[in-house]
Structure formats: C-alpha cells, structure tokens
C-alpha cells in the first residue's frame, strides 16, 4: 500500500482548507504545518519583510529538506518564477477570482472614506475609481481581518477565501474583474514538489486542472516578464476565449496613487500571451 503524501502548508484556517482540498483529491494525505515569516510578522507591511514569497519560502523549504513531499499554496502567493529544485506539479480548479468589499459597497462608502487593505494593487484600483478614498494597511488571516472590519468604512478580501471558509455572507460587493483585475493566480491552489521526484509528481497530477493551469500560466508569464512582485500595483486575469484561446486582462500602476495602465489581449500560447501583454505595458510606461 502506498503511503499517504505529506503536504506542507501554513497553519491558517484558509491554508488548512486548501491543503485538505488537495488531500481529498489524493485520497488522503498528512498535513505538515509550517510557520512562515508572513504569519509571524503581522505588525509590518508585507513589503517590509520581503514582499512576494514571505508566505511560501518556509513551506517550500519543508519540501526541499525532505520534511514534506509537497507544498500547498494560494497560487497568488507564489513568486512568478518557480524556486530552484521545485516543480509546479498541480494547479487546482479555480474558485471565484474576484475581490470583495466587506462593510460597504463601493458606491456606499462615504466621501473620503477609509478602506483597509494590505495590497498595493487593491488600493491603486480603488483610488483610480474613487480618488477621494483614504487607505490603511491591513494584515492577518481572514478571521483577523474580518474582526478589524468595523474600524473602517470597508476592507478588501478575496471572494474565494470567504467562500472556502463559509463566510460569503460578509460580502457587501464582489468587484467586477474586468476593471478590478485580480492578483495573478487569485482563487487558484498551487502544489509544488521536488523537481526530481517523479513518483510524487505523478501522484499530484490528479489535482491539476488543465484549464486553470493555462490561465494561471499566462498570468505568471505576465508577472515574470514584468519583473514585479506583489508589492507592485499589478494584476492579471486570464479567461478562456474559444477553443484553445485565452483573453488576458492586466493592469500596472507606477504607484498606488498614480494612473492605472490597462491592457487586454488574446492568444493561444499562454506563456507568449502573458509576456506580450507585459512588454506592451512596460513600453507604455517608458513612453509615458
């Protein structure tokens, strides 16, 4: 009998939900709980402790050291380039990719209202639509952030996170992804294993969703070409657009209060599509 795989994961309720989702598709697995810098340092902005990757490095290390067989992440937390020695073995079927306002719908936030979010992208997109708004940083797991919501006119969280934790009744408004473009990989679950572990790679394939993988591949190619991480106000969201084709919407802002550049394109090669959209936005920045 084949031994259950050991899945490394953060210890938050959402992270455990995601790891359990993967375990169910594998017919069972052992969860290896890992404490990360992003979870320990909730008193400072993500950009101050390393930006993108602060929620995944220790989880990846558990796999590379042999403590676990695979690592389960929110795909949006992964850097655009896979770490040396690791392989992105599965990207699970995507949940709702949208962002949500909790506390108030956008049009109901009072003039000069205060919105809390730890995401530069979320703040930039809201500021572009509502320049009067003020912003505050917000860190912590979903339960922690919801507990702080009463101190602001609204907070911004991912719809998928609320759905997965049975908290979707807290949504005041789910924001349209055609203008409020999600973070790369938002709503998807990613699973990494060691590059040379063919047996584990084969077992994890059952959790992979080809359509989601194509979409997230385009988004990650965009981010990799851009050279940015989650500290930059960037977003990308790919959707199927006919047989074998994708449409990718992307945004880039030089600063949270600066103009938001937008680009939409379609193609049949996810990697090439993401790279071309990033190159077009970079060219616009240089020309600007």
Q: Is residue 152 part of a domain?
A: yes
Beta bridge pairs of residue 90? 191
CA gap 182, 76 in Å, rounded: 9
Measured between alpha carbons, how far is residue 270 from residues 27, 196, 215, 233, 242 in Å?
A: 31, 25, 7, 22, 14
Task: Provide the pLDDT for residue 278.
Answer: 96
Task: Provide the pLDDT for residue 48.
Answer: 46
Residue 53 pLDDT > 80: no
Alpha helices in the chain (DSSP H): 13-25, 37-40, 57-64, 120-129, 142-148, 159-164, 198-204, 210-226, 270-287
Residue 288 pLDDT > 70: no
H/E run at residue 8: strand 5-9
Do 170 and 127 fall within a single domain? yes
CA gap 194, 124 in Å, rounded: 36
Q: Is residue 198 part of a domain?
A: yes
Do 58 and 104 fall within a single domain? no
Residue 35 pLDDT > 90: no
Q: Is residue 179 part of a domain?
A: no
Do 64 and 10 fall within a single domain? yes
In this predicted model, which residue has the larger pLDDT, 186 or 253?
186
Integer-rounded Cα Rg, in Å, for the chain is: 19
Task: Provide the pLDDT for residue 228.
Answer: 54
Do 204 and 74 fall within a single domain? yes
**118-162: per-residue pLDDT in tens?**
999 999 999 999 999 999 999 889 999 999 999 999 999 999 999
Kindly report the average pLDDT of the chain as a whole number. Answer: 92
Q: Is residue 218 part of a domain?
A: no
- The per-residue b/e assignment along 272-287, b for 16 or more CB within 10 angstroms, e otherwise, is ebbbbbbeebeeeeee
Annotated catalytic sites, by residue? 76-77, 121-122, 139, 145, 230
Task: Provide the pLDDT for residue 172.
Answer: 98
Domain ranges, residue 31 = 5-93+187-209
Averaged pLDDT, 30-55: 65
H/E run at residue 252: strand 246-253
Task: Provide the pLDDT for residue 227.
Answer: 86
**85-113: per-residue pLDDT in tens?**
999 999 999 999 999 999 999 999 999 99
Do 159 and 280 fall within a single domain? no
Residue 193 pLDDT > 90: yes
Do 14 and 81 fall within a single domain? yes
Residue 84 pLDDT > 80: yes
Give the CATH number, domain containing residue 130: 3.40.190.10
Do 86 and 135 fall within a single domain? no
0.75 cut: is pTM over it? yes
Q: Could you give the angle at the alpha carbon of 239 between the alpha carbons of 233 and 242, nearest 5°?
A: 150
pLDDT confidence of 55, banded at 50, 70, 90?
A: confident
**235-276: per-residue pLDDT in tens?**
999 999 989 999 999 999 877 667 899 999 999 999 999 999
Do 63 and 198 fall within a single domain? yes
**11-29: per-residue pLDDT in tens?**
999 999 999 999 999 999 9
**196-239: per-residue pLDDT in tens?**
999 999 999 999 999 999 999 999 999 999 985 545 799 999 99
pLDDT confidence of 192, banded at 50, 70, 90?
A: very high
Beta bridge pairs of residue 31? 7
Q: Is residue 28 part of a domain?
A: yes
Averaged pLDDT, 42-60: 65
CA gap 233, 139 in Å, rounded: 17
Residue 48 in tokens: 């101050």
**157-176: per-residue pLDDT in tens?**
999 999 999 999 999 999 99
Q: Is residue 181 part of a domain?
A: no
CA gap 32, 8 in Å, rounded: 5
List, as one string, the DSSP characters of 83-99: PTTEEEEEEPPP----E
Q: How many helices (H) and strands (E) does the chain have?
A: 9, 13
**107-120: per-residue pLDDT in tens?**
999 999 999 999 99
Do 78 and 9 fall within a single domain? yes
Do 24 and 143 fall within a single domain? no
Give the CATH number, domain containing residue 248: 3.30.160.40
Do 112 and 247 fall within a single domain? no
Q: How many domains does the chain have?
A: 3
Q: Is residue 27 part of a domain?
A: yes
Do 28 and 134 fall within a single domain? no
């Amino acid at each position: 009998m084949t031994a259950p795989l050991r899945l490394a994961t953060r210890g938050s309720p959402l992270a455990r939900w995601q790891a359990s989702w993967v375990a169910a598709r594998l017919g069972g697995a052992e969860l290896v709980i890992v404490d990360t810098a992003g979870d320990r340092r909730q008193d400072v902005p993500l950009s101050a402790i390393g930006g993108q990757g602060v929620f995944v490095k220790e989880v990846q290390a558990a796999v590379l050291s042999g403590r676990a067989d695979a690592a389960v992440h929110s795909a949006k937390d992964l850097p655009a380039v896979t770490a040396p020695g690791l392989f992105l073995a599965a990207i699970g079927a995507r949940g709702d990719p949208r962002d949500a306002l909790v506390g108030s719908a956008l049009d109901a936030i009072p003039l000069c209202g205060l919105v809390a979010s730890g995401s530069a992208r979320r703040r930039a997109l809201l500021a572009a639509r509502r320049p009067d708004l003020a912003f505050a940083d917000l860190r912590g797991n979903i339960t922690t952030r919801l507990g702080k919501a009463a101190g602001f006119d609204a907070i911004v969280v991912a719809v998928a996170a609320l759905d997965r934790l049975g908290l979707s009744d807290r949504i005041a408004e789910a924001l349209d992804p055609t203008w409020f473009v999600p973070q790369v990989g938002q709503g998807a679950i990613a699973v990494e294993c060691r590059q040379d572990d063919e047996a584990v790679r084969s077992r994890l394939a059952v959790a992979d969703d080809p359509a989601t993988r194509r979409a997230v591949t385009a988004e990650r190619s965009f981010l990799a070409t851009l050279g940015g991480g989650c500290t930059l106000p960037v977003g990308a969201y790919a959707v199927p657009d006919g047989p074998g084709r994708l449409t990718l919407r992307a945004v880039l802002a030089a600063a949270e209060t600066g103009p938001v550049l937008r680009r939409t394109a379609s193609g049949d090669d996810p990697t090439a599509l993401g790279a071309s959209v990033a190159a077009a936005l970079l060219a616009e920045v240089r020309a600007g």
